[in-house]
Amino acid sequence: MTDVTLVRETARPAMREPTQWERLRSNRDWLGFWFMVPAMGILTLFLGYPLFLGVWLSFTDTKIGRAGKFIGLENYEWLLDDRIFWLSVTNTLIYTIVASAAKFAIGLYLALLLNKHMPFKAIIRAIVLIPFIVPTVLSAIAFWWIYDSQFSIISWALRKAGWITTNINFLGDPWNARWATIFANVWRGIPFVAITLLAGLQTVSPSLYEAATLDGASGWQRFRYITYPILTPIIAVVMTFSVLFTFTDFQLIWALTRGGPVNATHLMATLSYQRAILGGNMGEGAAIATAMIPFLLFAVLVSWFGLQRRKWQQGVGND
Amino acid sequence: MASVDIKDVRKSYGPVEVLHGVSVPIKNGEFVVLVGPSGCGKSTLLRMIAGLESITGGTVSIGDRVVNNIHPKERDIAMVFQNYALYPHMTVEDNMAFSLKLKGTDKATIKAQVDKAAGILGLGKLLDRYPRQLSGGQRQRVAMGRAIVRDPQVFLFDEPLSNLDAKLRVAMRAEIKELHQRLKTTTIYVTHDQIEAMTMADKIVVMHDGDIEQIGAPLDLYDHPQNQFVAGFIGSPSMNFIPGTLKGGVVETASGAKLPLGKASTAGEGRAVTYGVRPEHFTIADDGVDAEVIVVEPTGSETQLVAKMAGHDIVAIFRERYDFKPGQKVKLKPQADVVHLFDKESGKRI
């Protein structure tokens, strides 16, 4: 009997207070944190480190093949007086604003069109996606040919039609080159906008449109008062991504113009690459790249506030 | 308020005809319920009246105006949808005011109209809420409010109660009926629930496979169903059907049981018929037909009995509390003066 009692007494410790660590380990609030740790590790390694290194490099005079030393804001001071840098900023802003606006307008129009019942809907949707599927460099090369000063199909067609007599100098003239690159970017970016907005449109219940029709709304009013407000959160997401992608565009410009003619199409990303990798001035290139961060941050903040869950999306009462 | 006249209306989707020429006259201020099983075409008919579906053949008139080619918004109707179709991004007030705003009504009038409708439906405190913040019954009321605000000629309801729980459904049923008694607006109401139809309608239209089976007042359909379909569809639990042949003033089943007939026609000796008797029209009597108890379901107010009679499962309901046991033999006597006879082939009433 005594033995049995003893065994029971030693089994008791299960009842002791859990230690701080044990509590932390099983606490539901902390559980989420534990699950996040691996993802945070990966993000730190592959996003945080390069970002930090880039920003750090911008404060040094590192050149390729030579470790630099800390020089403070000198790179930025140089950039302030650099006309080409400011030209690239202007170019980037024009490129981003014009291309994003065009992508939004055309993408929304296409989405509305594809949301209607029409023959061959599936095939047309697939066709719309093509520009998105083709690798950027491949489509850039295609555009390069389309814009070629001698072999351009556009120039050829217009000449045959008798509308022009000499070939258009698409990529040789500063403004022509700007519009040409913007056009290529818009062509490539539309499917993303159109398909995402289409997905959003399809979540709108058809009975809302029927109710609005019975309430006396015209086609435009249905769009203005029903479709657009309900679609706003999705528009905010799509346009944030679209703006970020456009602002940081590199491939298309590099394959088409390499920033030419005379820096007319240089974006901040291409200029940064040119200075850092081709020119070897890692510090200066990093400074240009770092200068993009405030713009991107601004775009993200705008969409953050645009994206904030609106009152009508919340499930709980507001009283 | 207006009358609605549906004349020989047909609807086809490609080669498939889903409505085969239906005609329903609806008087001014009447509450008409279109009822039938899923796929009978009742919702399609309602949507055609609303103008949300095109009309393949025949005419729909509201008032004395044929509206076949008139745009929905010009038809002066309001519709309550099954899923309510409330605009999620607008408050209750804005939802209700939307149609008036589109019309360009001035703000004071809109406010007055919305407040009036909100008062009728008890929505006064919810005007600032968004649809997501409302319960099912409240959303239902907002949807009705949106319809009332417009003061339309005709109300259309498309299965408005089917998303609510059973208790709320009964409450809203009474509310809609009361609303109709108050506003006296012509109402067309679609449902698959015959209880809703029976309790609310001035006139029921029973539809089946794109045809109208019978039109009539609720109790008229209950007491005098024109065919076996209506007899089986109206009433819960539904009517019992037992096949047999007319012989010497009674219906004799294959097993030899003799089912009594009252005033019901005895014409056509030897004719194959279906004998119909409602569950509540049985009594326990010594001269009844032999039956064996299968299941007893006491509900408190009544005793429901599932039994085997002449080889068929039948349901009987008694107001009295009988203490039946499964397997027990009982004698059930159909009340001969209220039984129904249908032709076995056509299902038509004899």
Rounded average pLDDT per 10-residue block, chain B, 350 residues: 89 91 92 92 92 91 90 90 91 92 91 90 89 89 90 91 86 89 92 91 93 93 92 91 87 86 70 91 89 91 91 91 88 90 88
Residue B229 lies in a domain: yes
The whole-number pLDDT of residue A315 equals 46
Residue B350 lies in a domain: no
Q: In whole angstroms, what separates CA B291 from the centre of its chain? A: 32
Regarding whether B210 and B269 lie in a shared domain, the answer is no
Host domain of residue B253? 240-343
Residue B336 lies in a domain: yes
**Which amino acid is it at B52?**
L
Q: How many domains does chain B have?
A: 2
Of A216, A229, A316, Cβ closest to residue B103: A216
Domains of chain A in start order, with CATH, are 17-58 (no CATH), 74-309 (1.10.3720.10)
DSSP state of A224: I
Residue B53 lies in a domain: yes
Distance from A317 to chain B by nearest Cα, in Å? 5
Distance, CA of B58 to CA of B9 (rounded, Å): 4
The first and second tokens of residue A224, run together, are 């203005």
- Kindly list the residues from chain A whose CB atom is less than 8 angstroms away from the CB atom of residue B130: 311-312, 314, 318
Kindly give the interhelix angle for A136-146 and A174-201, rounded to the nearest 10 degrees: 130
Cβ–Cβ contact B103 with A under 8 A: yes
- Using an 8 Å Cβ cutoff, are B70 and B51 in contact? yes
- Using an 8 Å Cβ cutoff, are B290 and B257 in contact? yes
DSSP state of A150: T
Regarding whether B226 and B247 lie in a shared domain, the answer is no
Distance, CA of B40 to CA of A316 (rounded, Å): 39
Regarding whether B326 and B271 lie in a shared domain, the answer is yes
Peptide bond into B237 cis (omega under 30): yes
Regarding whether B215 and B78 lie in a shared domain, the answer is yes
Distance from A297 to chain B by nearest Cα, in Å? 29
Q: Read off φ and ψ for residue B45, nearest 5 degrees.
A: -60, -45
A 227-246 → B contacts, CB under 8 A? 229-230
Cβ–Cβ contact B130 with A under 8 A: yes
Question: Could you give the C-alpha distances from B145 to A227, A318, B103, B347, in angstroms and in order?
Answer: 22, 22, 17, 43
Regarding whether B193 and B93 lie in a shared domain, the answer is yes
Distance, CA of A207 to CA of B87 (rounded, Å): 10
Q: In whole angstroms, what separates CA B67 from the centre of its chain? A: 25
CATH code, B306 = 2.40.50.140
**Cβ <8 Å between A230 and B72:** no
DSSP state of B93: H
Q: Read off φ and ψ for residue A158, nearest 5 degrees.
A: -65, -35
- Using an 8 Å Cβ cutoff, are A259 and A270 in contact? yes
Regarding whether B155 and B265 lie in a shared domain, the answer is no
The first and second tokens of residue A30, run together, are 């902390």
List all residues 6 or more positions away from A248 whose beta carbon is below 8 Å from its beta carbon. A269, A292, A296
| DSSP sequence for A259-311 | T-STTTT--HHHHHHIIIIIS--HHHHHHHHHHHHHHHHHHHHHHHHHHSPPG
Kindly give the interhelix angle for A83-114 and A282-307, rounded to the nearest 10 degrees: 40
Cβ–Cβ contact A211 with B under 8 A: yes
ipTM over 0.90: no
Residue B349 lies in a domain: no
Residue that is last in its domain, among B209, B233, B257: B233
DSSP H stretches of helix in chain B: 42-50, 92-103, 107-121, 136-149, 166-183, 194-200, 218-223, 228-233
Distance from A215 to chain B by nearest Cα, in Å? 5
The whole-number pLDDT of residue A316 equals 45
**Which amino acid is it at A280?**
G
The first and second tokens of residue B330, run together, are 């009982």
Query: Could you tell me how many helices (H) and strands (E) chain B has, helices first?
Result: 8, 19
The whole-number pLDDT of residue A109 equals 92
The whole-number pLDDT of residue A10 equals 54
**Cβ <8 Å between A213 and B88:** no
Of B79, B87, B129, Cβ closest to residue A226: B87
- Kindly list the residues from chain A whose CB atom is less than 8 angstroms away from the CB atom of residue B79: 210-211, 214
Regarding whether B178 and B42 lie in a shared domain, the answer is yes
**Burial of B132 from C-beta contacts in 10 A (0-12 / 13-18 / 19+):** middle
Question: Could you give the C-alpha distances from B15 to B10, B11, B12, B35, in angstroms and in order?
Answer: 12, 10, 7, 25
- Kindly list the residues from chain A whose CB atom is less than 8 angstroms away from the CB atom of residue B102: 215-217, 221
Regarding whether B251 and B174 lie in a shared domain, the answer is no
Peptide bond into B37 cis (omega under 30): no
Distance, CA of B154 to CA of A59 (rounded, Å): 75
Residue B348 lies in a domain: no
- Using an 8 Å Cβ cutoff, are A143 and A153 in contact? no
Regarding whether B40 and B132 lie in a shared domain, the answer is yes
Reduce the DSSP state of residue B276 to 3 states and report it. strand
Residue that is last in its domain, among B218, B233, B248: B233
- Using an 8 Å Cβ cutoff, are A52 and A290 in contact? no
List all residues 6 or more positions away from B314 whose beta carbon is below 8 Å from its beta carbon. B240, B242, B277, B279, B291, B306, B307, B308, B332
DSSP H stretches of helix in A134-225: 136-146, 153-160, 174-201, 206-214, 219-222
Which of B79, B94, B138, B162 should we substitute to test contact with A (largest number of A Cβ atoms within 10 Å)?
Answer: B79
Strand B154-158 relative to strand B77-80, pairing: parallel
Question: Could you give the C-alpha distances from B139 to A25, A159, B84, B191, in angstroms and in order?
Answer: 44, 64, 7, 18
Regarding whether B198 and B80 lie in a shared domain, the answer is yes
Q: What is the pTM of this model?
A: 0.79
Residue B188 lies in a domain: yes
**Which amino acid is it at B57?**
G
Distance, CA of B8 to CA of A65 (rounded, Å): 89
Distance, CA of A86 to CA of A109 (rounded, Å): 34
Closest CA to B245 of B348, B347, B341: B341
CATH code, B129 = 3.40.50.300
Number of other CB atoms surrounding residue A308 within 10 Å? 11
Residue B318 lies in a domain: yes
pLDDT of chain A, 319 residues: tens digit per residue: 445 555 555 555 556 777 888 877 777 878 888 889 999 999 999 999 999 999 999 998 888 888 888 888 888 988 888 899 999 999 999 999 999 999 999 999 999 988 888 788 888 888 888 888 888 888 888 898 898 888 888 889 998 888 888 888 888 888 989 999 999 999 999 999 999 999 999 988 889 999 999 998 888 999 999 999 888 888 888 988 999 999 999 988 998 888 878 888 999 999 999 998 898 888 899 999 999 999 999 988 888 777 666 666 654 443 3
Number of other CB atoms surrounding residue A179 within 10 Å? 15
Reduce the DSSP state of residue A63 to 3 states and report it. strand
**Which amino acid is it at B226?**
Q
Regarding whether B159 and B21 lie in a shared domain, the answer is yes
DSSP state of B249: T
Distance, CA of B85 to CA of B136 (rounded, Å): 12
Regarding whether B251 and B227 lie in a shared domain, the answer is no
The first and second tokens of residue B262, run together, are 């009252």
Q: Which residues pair with B277 in a beta bridge?
A: B240
Helix (H) or strand (E) segment spanning residue A84: helix A83-114
Tens of pLDDT, residues A42-83 = 999 999 999 999 999 999 888 888 888 888 888 898 888 889
Q: Which residues pair with B283 in a beta bridge?
A: B333
Tell which phi-psi region holds residue A195, choosing left (phi > 0), alpha (psi between -120 and 50) or beta: alpha
Distance from A303 to chain B by nearest Cα, in Å? 19
Of A214, A221, A225, Cβ closest to residue B79: A214
Residue that is last in its domain, among B233, B250, B273: B233
